[in-house]
Amino acid sequence: MNYRHGYHAGNFADVMKHVLLTALIKALCRKPAPFCVLDTHAGVGIYDLSGPQARSTGEWRDGIGRLLGTSPGADPVLDDWLDIVRHVMREHGGELFYPGSPALVSRLLRPGDTLTCCELHPQDQQSLKRLFRNTPAVSVHGRDGYEAITALLPPRHAKRGLVLMDPPFEQKDEFQRLAKAIITARRRFGTGIIAAWYPIKHRAPVRAFQNALKDAGQRNLLALELTLRPPLDPSRLNGSGMIVANPPFGFEDVARHALDVLRGHLGDEETAATVEWVVPE
């Protein structure tokens, strides 16, 4: 994959990830106690889909581009997320600007909730700091996201929350690093929800990743996947996955419905959506 994320912002994988992320945050909002969110690989926060990076790939056209015309209420499972996307675009004069995970989460926080963003790339880090310079509930750290799991967990000010891991998958051992990070996060923040995104090119790396978690004794792991085509070509991004540890009550059903709706909007006869327990509780 070509990373930085600006090349892929708003594509089908982003859409899937952000719809599910919105559902997780809304589940946390059901209880009055404050919660915290740690975004380990935050990016710039908001992406210009008319900019050179997004234009060079055009991936957003087959992602958010297919959903912008959806009428409010047509697919209620998408409404909270689409409301934020449209609000961000209105803030930018109706231009094609797309909220990444930090911008999305920040708009769902209530008084007392907090968001901590980690971004190692200096330019992206500065963009993120400018975006949240007047938002006290959001802090930005220029540090490695995996290192932050040890440094920043457990959170100081909340017993509930979510850790989102969305690494760039630039390294050959990224699946192994991600599995280790999930195990560490759960050990340090046992009451938290852990959500980790992963690419699906072919099945072998995904199976090895999930088996590593099972072999480490991890439980209560839900895998959510949207594949545009059979994952047989390791040179292509054939699908998008998210593994959720400690999913909140009712999330499985919400996620299954959301992925089925997205399959209808983003895919064709080859597209598949699955929600499966890697290891039950």
Q: Are strands 114-118 and 138-141 parallel, antiparallel or unpaired?
A: parallel
The values of phi and psi at residue 249, to 5°, are -60, 130
Torsion angle in degrees (nearest 10) through CA of 169, 175, 181, 185: 100
Annotated catalytic residue, options 39, 75, 113, 166 = 166
Q: Which residue's entry shows tokens 């907090």?
A: 114
**Amino acid (one-letter) located at 206:** V
Q: Which residue's entry shows tokens 């099945």?
A: 203
In the chain, how many H helices and how many E strands? Answer: 9, 10
Contacts of 99 (CB under 8 A, 6+ apart): 18, 45, 46, 47, 84, 85, 88, 107
Q: Are 132 and 107 in contact (CB under 8 A)?
A: no
Of 67, 95, 62, give the one whose Cα is nearest residue 83.
Answer: 67
Any catalytic annotation for residue 75?
A: no
3-state secondary structure of 3: coil
Torsion angle in degrees (nearest 10) through CA of 145, 149, 152, 156: 140
CA 12 remoteness from chain centre: 12
Q: Are 206 and 221 in contact (CB under 8 A)?
A: no
Query: Active-site residues: which are they?
Result: 166
